Amino acid sequence: MTEIDSETRTVRLAHRVPALLNALGIESPPTGEMAVHSPITGEVLVGLRPAGPAEIDSAIEEAAAAFRSWRTVPAPQRAAVVRELAVLLRRHQDELAELVTLEVGKIPAEARGEVQEMIDICEFAVGLSRQLYGYTMASERPGHRLMETWHPLGVVGVISAFNFPVAVWAWNTAVALVCGDTVVWKPSDRTPLTALACHALLRRAARAAAADPRIHQLVLGTGAAGAQLVDDERVALISATGSVAMGRRVGPRVAARFGRCLLELGGNNAAVVTPSADLDLAVRAIVFAAVGTAGQRCTSLRRLIVHAGIADELLNRLAGAYRQLRVGNPLEPGVQVGPLSGPEAWERMRDAIDLARRDGGELICGGHEVTVDGAGSAARYAHPAIVRMPDQTEIVREETFAPILYVLTYDDFDTALALHNGVPQGLSSAIFTTDQRESERFLAADGSDCGIANVNIGTSGAEIGGAFGGEKHTGGGRESGSDAWKAYMRRATNTINYSSDLPLAQGIRFD
């Protein structure tokens, strides 16, 4: 799978790219000056050509033209494309997962899990195609029927982030296509190879289902490409995943043209551990949630709020588990924590730990850079850190996209909830307790203020059956399951008069 440069002893991964792309149906990607780096070694995997303004305009126009006929195709027939995509994803799960590992640095188990998530949302969307329900309401006027219908919205612009390069695209695209929309995708400029692969697979699925392949368009590029999507009135919905800063730019620009926005932004997720908690279960859940994907998930656990009476015991257990973590090249067997996204991620992690210590924090374990054989100077690895904090300082209230777990203590449950909710973000949350009153309070209106609230399970690893998203600075959007499909459609209220009279609403007479 890997090659070693005999002079520099650096691991070489680029040789794998052509074979993987070929297996996924891409023989000659558009080469150019946009370098694609692997965080595993820091090497350039390939250089690709970004789309220019004219190409992006053409992609939007193609999607808009395809929408005019795609919206009239019955939803179960539209689902045939998504069904074929699931077939191809199963067939090519290994190749696509390896490409995710090369571009993102995920360990293979997590990469395969991400592709499985794509398959799962495809299955969900196929079933959804027969459940795009509207209500029938009782009319106050005799001889009238009142109902609502749901119609395709238009072109959906998907702007995705590097850490989940394929799953989040699938959440949006599978549902949008079934709803009758067409899609223009601008992936992260760090993960264009996985985007090329998914685009090729979807085009193959469209052809297999005898559908117009123009229903999906791909534009590669940097922030300028995304900005063009954001500002184009032909794009009815912008679904953007990324930082809060990105959302602050995108939201007002889409609102200014009266477009729709679905924003999935930052998460500064916390878990409360109560005196009654099953600590064996809690430790396992906490470690995975805090260090999975090297702490680079929007749902990563970043704050641990522990009852003072059990804090020392829990910290000892966590520190013992952290010291056993194997950090390294994710392609090597037994590695549990892969690389950070790059040097800038390590700098943010280092600076955040320094600020936390300046605020009185105690570094319990980890937090140091790790040297990995075969990694070049542009690759960065770090041992996940646990920092015990005296209170919730400004650095704790910020989201540092790195594997840092801040530990706070509490004495009464109201204080725990206040600490939990005392941050600007509101994505995912958890409580570990065997006390039913505590768990119910955590899920109540005056409990967790997050879009996701879990009991006795970590903050990460959401299933596609539920709606995914958060509140406050997280953006308020919902993707994936439940009734998240409504974001991709427009609602019409219909009144049908089947009588020969014309009564007015509210009893108004106009004779």
* Separation CA 157–CA 241 (nearest Å): 11
The residue written with tokens 């690759």 in the block is 379
* Separation CA 345–CA 369 (nearest Å): 11
Give residue 371's identity as a one-letter amino acid code. Answer: T
Locate all alpha helices (DSSP H) within 141-277, ordered by sequence: 167-178, 192-208, 223-231, 244-256
| 137 C-beta neighbours (distance < 10 Å), count | 12
Specify whether 264 is catalytic: yes
CA angle 333, 290, 238 (to 5 degrees): 100
For residue 273, give the nearest of 121, 120, 128, 409 by alpha carbon: 409
Contact assessment for residue 229 and residue 53, using Cβ atoms and an 8 Å cutoff: no
- The pair of three-digit structure tokens given for residue 385, joined into one six-digit string: 């850190």
* Separation CA 221–CA 51 (nearest Å): 6
Q: Is the dihedral of CA 258, 186, 117, 289 positive or negative?
A: negative
Q: What residues contact residue 251 under an 8 Å CB cut-off, 6+ apart?
A: 261, 263, 475
Residues paired with residue 497 on neighbouring β-strands, in sequence order: 144
| 390 C-beta neighbours (distance < 10 Å), count | 11
Catalytic residue among 264, 399, 438, 479: 264
The residue written with tokens 């085009």 in the block is 203
* Separation CA 506–CA 141 (nearest Å): 9
Q: Which helix (H) or strand (E) holds 188?
A: none
452: left (phi over 0), alpha (psi -120 to 50) or beta: beta
Question: Three-state secondary structure along 40-99?
Answer: CCCCEEEEECCCCHHHHHHHHHHHHHHHHHHCCCCHHHHHHHHHHHHHHHHHCHHHHHHH
Catalytically active residues are 264
